[in-house]
Chain A
């Protein structure tokens, strides 16, 4: 799998020099085109929605103009602080706890093959339980407080992180482990520099799955039982047949999902820059 003739310089170097030589007008045209490609279809879809919903007399699909004008009054008069922020706080607490717990347990289980064999079927079972069914169970123990919601998020989001971390730790190359031993790296260095970095591609994969599960559980736990939050508000609007307001909630939830996935991608690009580069170099060498 190793390439003998991989490029010695960073692959991006050639392209950068090409950009510098480009005249400003051409660069502007290029940016313009990219912007058009990026926003073209979303603009068209929004326009279609606007026009169609304006004419249609469907109760469930109010005109987009109504939805947009309802957005400000619905959310900016206190609901951001009363509903959105508590939701995001619980999400952040639950998600970060799940990742920390999943990585810690995953490293532990991945390091001991016997422990892994012992725990794996049980872990696979817990992962396979559809996470929302944990809501009724945890309500028994914890009531409907913030604590319940955080625990619900942890209980669903921890498994993909844990199992992927186990795989990642197990998959670290033997030559790397040997190197770490031969040069007598101390346990803490080994954990930080070898194990966690070596397993990071799988950890990130698990964390990505966990993020979408965590968002789902944030909403579900609030729909089930709560007195504030994004999921709670949306259900309230639906029950009160406040259709434009309900739609603003759906859109806001979509925006939250989008924003979180963008943040995740930025973090991933930094953490896994070496991995992408390595993959690219290997693939280039094989062709």
Chain B
């Protein structure tokens, strides 16, 4: 449905000499409260190249959302830094779009579908004709060309999440962050949306950072899977997904290599749940 749409939404990305787009180094986040401090994220370091699809998995409560909010500039880290396109992130940076888990609550219920997609473009001072084109194209790309005048609450959950994705795509970001975006939709819709994200990523050449607790989803979507430890969070392992770029729900998931990767990541997550920590950290502390 979407693969046939011509990709006219383009992105131009400033790339450093090393091809690095995002660098997270020594990220630490401690929540202070009157009852004492909670260390959510201890020490996270990783980088993504331009155009890469990186998935982050970890046991529930591993601080995945904290990490993502730090990268998005919504939450100041306690120490360490996030650098996007050579600029340190302090507050939401330009060229970044985020799709939140809570699709119903991240769309403005008083704006129509088209207005929701258009609002960020208006703020970027995109010219009117260009705006109209981007809105139409992005809605078509997510298969919602026929409901621009509807309100979000008139749509099903899966369709609402498509609107959020269209809004992110129309924004023409260099990097797209997704925080467990499909956690609340049913299994069939979820598979459709995974294919949608995968095809948009292939066509637009954007960098994708996808947080999920679903191991299969992480392997299916990513070129790399970062496995997080339990709290306080560090990276347990960086697993390369050496599957062909052409993927589909049936053949990819039945690929023996997919199964192996899945077993590998599954074991890592299980170990993380039991409180296993990487060797490097033990020697450090």
Interface stretch among A51-59, A245-253, A254-262, A272-280?
A272-280
Contact mask for chain A residues 148-167; partner B; CB cutoff 8 A; 1 contact, 0 none = 00000000000000000000
Q: Name 28 A/B residue pairs within 8 A (Cβ), A-sorted.
A: A2-B103, A2-B184, A6-B153, A6-B155, A6-B156, A7-B154, A8-B147, A173-B102, A175-B100, A176-B106, A178-B69, A178-B98, A179-B98, A179-B106, A179-B108, A182-B97, A183-B97, A183-B123, A183-B171, A185-B119, A185-B123, A189-B119, A189-B122, A193-B111, A274-B109, A275-B110, A277-B154, A278-B151
CA distance A8 to B149 in the complex (A): 12
Please report A residues at the B interface, Cβ cutoff 8 Å: 1-10, 173-176, 178-179, 181-186, 189, 193-194, 197-198, 200, 274-275, 277-278, 281-282
Q: How far is the CB of B125 from chain A (nearest CB, A)?
A: 10
Contact mask for chain B residues 154-170; partner A; CB cutoff 8 A; 1 contact, 0 none = 11111110000001000
Q: Which residues of B contact A181 (CB under 8 A)?
A: 73-74, 91-92
Please report B residues at the A interface, Cβ cutoff 8 Å: 69, 72-74, 91-92, 94, 96-98, 100, 102-111, 119-120, 122-124, 147, 150-151, 153-160, 167, 171, 184-186
CA distance A194 to B122 in the complex (A): 14
Q: How far is the CB of B43 from chain A (nearest CB, A)?
A: 25
Please tell me if the beta carbons of A277 and B156 are within 8 angstroms of each other in the complex.
no
Q: Which residues of B contact A278 (CB under 8 A)?
A: 109, 151, 153
Q: Which residues of B contact A6 (CB under 8 A)?
A: 153-157
Q: Which residues of A contact B167 (CB under 8 A)?
A: 183
CA distance A176 to B171 in the complex (A): 17
CA distance A7 to B185 in the complex (A): 16
- Across the interface, A193 reaches (CB within 8 A) one of B100, B103, B104, B108, namely B108
CA distance A198 to B109 in the complex (A): 9
